Amino acid sequence: MRVAIACDHGGFPLKGTVIEVVRAAGHQVLDLGTDSAASVDYPDYAEKLGRAIQHGEAARGILMCGSGVGASIAANKMRGVYAAVCHDTYSAHQGVEHDDMNVLCLGARIIGPELAKEIVAAFLGARFVGNDPGQERHARRVGKVRKLESEF
């Protein structure tokens, strides 16, 4: 799977760790910046990552800023991007399994590299279960979210 990675200056300290985890899990990395700790605007990097998802250049994305919140808000403004801040492994895998989340947002000022490794691994190892027998309720719920997106 190809995974887009992007961050602002606040997320930059986690970027290298996240890239290592993605590659170690056997996935390709699409590095969309930033490439230093110099101040930049998180919406610009959320847009780059969101466009990569929209255009099929990446199946999933990992977006980092200081808290993860601003990046998540910006990414969720883009059609077809389903982003959430996850600072625990349960949310990271459950967000994919039940909610079809395709972008993981992390706050580099909130979590350290060891926890980030576990969260990223949980996100990458998960798959949406809504099409599995007995799990149709998840597909129904995600369908309702997508309907909201198309109407508003």
DSSP string, 99-134: H---EEEEETTTS-HHHHHHHHHHHHH----TTSTT
Structural domain count, the chain: 1
Q: Give the model's pLDDT for residue 152.
A: 81
Q: How far apart are CA 88 and CA 97, in angstroms?
A: 15
Mean pLDDT of 134-152: 92
Q: What is the pLDDT of residues 3-37, one digit of tens each?
A: 999 999 999 999 999 999 999 999 999 999 999 99
Average pLDDT (60-77) is 98
Residue 151 confidence class, pLDDT cut points 50, 70, 90: confident
Looking at residue 32, which CATH number applies to its domain?
A: 3.40.1400.10
Q: Which of 65, 57, 64, 7 is nearest to 28 (CA)?
A: 57
Range of the domain at 83: 2-151
The pTM for the full model equals: 0.97
SS3 5: strand
Over the stretch 87-132, which tens digit does the pLDDT of each residue have? Answer: 999 999 999 999 999 999 999 999 999 999 999 999 999 999 999 9
Q: Which residues are catalytic?
A: 65, 98
For position 89, what pLDDT does the model report?
98
